[in-house]
Amino acid sequence: MNPPSRTFRRRLMSLIAGLAATVLVFIALALAVQRDASDKLRQLAHVELEVAEQARQFRAAIDDLHGALLRIGTDSAADSALVIGQRREVMSAWLNARQVTGGSAIERKVLRQIAAEMRSYFTKLDGLTARLGGLATPLDRDTVVMFDDSANRLEGMADDFAAAHDDEVRSLLAASLGSLIWLRNLVFVCLCLLLAAIVVVVALLYLHLVRPLREQLVDSEALLAKREKLAALGTLAAGVAHEIRNPLTAIKARLYTLRRALSSDENREDLQAITGEVDRLERIVRDVLGYARPADATLSRVELSAWLRGFATFVEPTLATAKIELAVDAPVTADVQIDAQQLRQIMLNLVRNAQEALEYRAGRIELALRCERASLRGKIAAVAELTVTDNGPGIPLKVQERLFDPFFTTKPAGTGLGLSIVARLVENQGGEIKFQSMPGAGTRFAVRLPLREPARQTDRA
């Protein structure tokens, strides 16, 4: 399992930070809009109550003023003048306040009508005060009717203004409610987007972290179980091989004695066959012991490009005899810390397997060296990769599943320990072995080893 790349981690952290910042900004925006909408609603309610109260005061001032006019001649002139003056100030203050605050076009139109009517009303009041007898003489019927009509018109205009203002307030209230509805919809959409983003983040975390970790855990458990099983099998095989080796040594000694004692050639063929089988048994015992108790690696610095060219020179005569073309591609220098003898055994096994796969046909084997950053035992590291590639018939799919299992072989005289020993030796070097094969398209084995320092380009072979 490849660990998450640095780029993925950086993008994931940026996404999480962006989501957190977006959430904070959204919460601040929502609180600010909610606070502003609440303030506007409170202001609207206050203004509506204030205007209603002032309209009531304006009507009351008109009624009081009209009543004072009707009482002229009954009240003293001083009292009538005081009441008339006070109510004029109330009416003038109300009009001035409304003209300052402005309002809608309809409100301004009504205010202009009220102002014109009030000027006419106050002009009549001034004429009343300046008449003969002043405020001490009662009003005649025509004058009362005239002031009554003017008062009714002012009250009607005041009602029109209040109605126009109510319409404006309702419009503003509807707009505020619309803003709140828009805010509610915005909150809903943002929450949906936030939920979707959270789902994406969770999916990314699962795909790039949780699932690979689970797969790695399963693989590790399976590998541990397999290693325990192979260790037990190796211990058993080593014990059996050790017990077989002693009788084989005695048999070989007796065969040597019999061969010297025989004077004729009539039984030498049988002795030769027995000797060959004993040698085969001895080779199997040696392989079993090599698998069960591999020698400790003696690590040293090795430059793989030069080493691979020397190895190719060593195996080329054997391959040429079998009419197999050998190619070497080592464009980089790569320093590794390995056991050169064990690496030689590893590569010899892989080349021998490739040669056997190309038996009875003219084929080609390529030895190559590459350096890259790749997975090595579950971690991304700088590795040198030695590959052995042939153009043979490939490995059947059923065989691939058990390719590194000990004692599994498809060769009539094979022990089934060659690739198992190779895998153990590669593990001793701190590396790993991989393969790719397609039936009819050849096979490629890759041995990955950790690099000591960055690779350098060299001339191609």
pLDDT exceeds cutoff 90 at 308: yes
8-state DSSP, 461: -
Choose the most confident range, by mean pLDDT, from 5-9, 106-110, 153-157, 317-321: 317-321
pLDDT exceeds cutoff 80 at 148: yes
- The residue range of the domain holding 156 is 6-206
Average pLDDT over every residue of 391-399: 83
Distance CA 79, CA 82 (A): 5
Residue 303's pLDDT band, with cuts at 50, 70 and 90, is very high
Q: 133 φ, ψ to 5°?
A: 100, -15
8-state DSSP, 208: I
Q: Are residues 276 and 160 in the same domain?
A: no
Lowest mean pLDDT of 69-83, 232-246, 357-371, name the range. 232-246
pLDDT exceeds cutoff 50 at 242: yes
Closest of 256, 382, 368 to residue 312, by C-alpha: 368
Say what the pLDDT of residue 387 is: 94
In a domain, 269, yes or no: yes
pLDDT exceeds cutoff 90 at 311: yes
In a domain, 216, yes or no: no
Say what the pLDDT of residue 461 is: 42
Q: The domain spanning residue 280 has which CATH number? A: 1.10.287
In a domain, 185, yes or no: yes
Choose the most confident range, by mean pLDDT, from 147-156, 177-186, 320-329: 320-329
Residue 398 burial (10 A CB sphere; 0-12, 13-18, 19+): exposed
Q: What does the pLDDT look like over 194-206, one tens digit per residue?
A: 788 788 777 877 7
- Exposure pattern of 111-142 as b/e (b: 16+ CB <10 Å)? bebbbebbeebeeebeebeeeeeebeeebeee
Q: Which of these three, 273, 290, 307, is where a domain ends? A: 290
Say what the pLDDT of residue 238 is: 60
8-state DSSP, 383: E
Distance CA 59, CA 51 (A): 12
In a domain, 217, yes or no: no
Mention every residue, 6+ apart, whose C-beta is less than 8 A from residue 97. 54
Say what the pLDDT of residue 358 is: 84
Q: Are residues 174 and 257 in the same domain?
A: no
Distance CA 83, CA 416 (A): 125
* Proportion of the chain above pLDDT 70, given as a percent: 71
Residue 407's pLDDT band, with cuts at 50, 70 and 90, is low
Average pLDDT over every residue of 287-298: 63
Q: Are residues 254 and 335 in the same domain?
A: no
Q: 448 φ, ψ to 5°?
A: -100, 130
Residue 217's pLDDT band, with cuts at 50, 70 and 90, is confident
Q: Are residues 245 and 377 in the same domain?
A: no
Q: Please state whether beta strands 363-376 and 324-329 pair in parallel, antiparallel, or not at all (unpaired).
A: parallel
| Integer-rounded Cα radius of gyration of the chain | 53
pLDDT exceeds cutoff 60 at 459: no
pLDDT exceeds cutoff 80 at 447: yes
Q: Which of these three, 206, 241, 258, is where a domain ends? A: 206
Q: Are residues 165 and 187 in the same domain?
A: yes
In a domain, 213, yes or no: no
pLDDT exceeds cutoff 50 at 453: yes
Q: How many domains does the chain have?
A: 3
Q: Are residues 33 and 145 in the same domain?
A: yes
Residue 51's pLDDT band, with cuts at 50, 70 and 90, is low
pLDDT exceeds cutoff 60 at 1: no
Average pLDDT over every residue of 76-92: 80
Better-scored residue on pLDDT, 246 or 119: 119
Say what the pLDDT of residue 350 is: 92
Q: The domain spanning residue 187 has which CATH number? A: 1.20.120
Residue 80's pLDDT band, with cuts at 50, 70 and 90, is confident
Q: Are residues 117 and 233 in the same domain?
A: no
pLDDT exceeds cutoff 80 at 37: no
Q: Are residues 277 and 311 in the same domain?
A: no
Mention every residue, 6+ apart, whose C-beta is less than 8 A from residue 44. 169, 172, 173, 176
In a domain, 96, yes or no: yes
73: how many CB neighbours lie within 10 A of its CB? Answer: 14
User: What mean pLDDT, rounded, does the chain reach?
Assistant: 76
44: how many CB neighbours lie within 10 A of its CB? Answer: 17
Say what the pLDDT of residue 360 is: 65
Say what the pLDDT of residue 368 is: 94
Q: Please state whether beta strands 363-376 and 379-390 pair in parallel, antiparallel, or not at all (unpaired).
A: antiparallel
Q: 296 φ, ψ to 5°?
A: -65, 140
Q: Are residues 169 and 270 in the same domain?
A: no
Q: 294 φ, ψ to 5°?
A: -65, 145
Q: Are residues 157 and 286 in the same domain?
A: no
pLDDT exceeds cutoff 60 at 235: yes
Q: Are residues 310 and 255 in the same domain?
A: no
pTM of the complete model? 0.47
Q: The domain spanning residue 303 has which CATH number? A: 3.30.565.10
Q: Which of these three, 234, 264, 290, is where a domain ends? A: 290
Closest of 345, 340, 328, 334 to residue 303, by C-alpha: 334
In a domain, 1, yes or no: no
Q: Are residues 368 and 390 in the same domain?
A: yes
What residues does 436 pair with on adjacent strands? 444
In a domain, 214, yes or no: no
pLDDT exceeds cutoff 70 at 133: no
* Proportion of the chain above pLDDT 90, given as a percent: 9
Q: What does the pLDDT look like over 339-384, one tens digit per residue?
A: 888 889 889 989 988 888 887 677 899 999 999 888 787 778 889 9
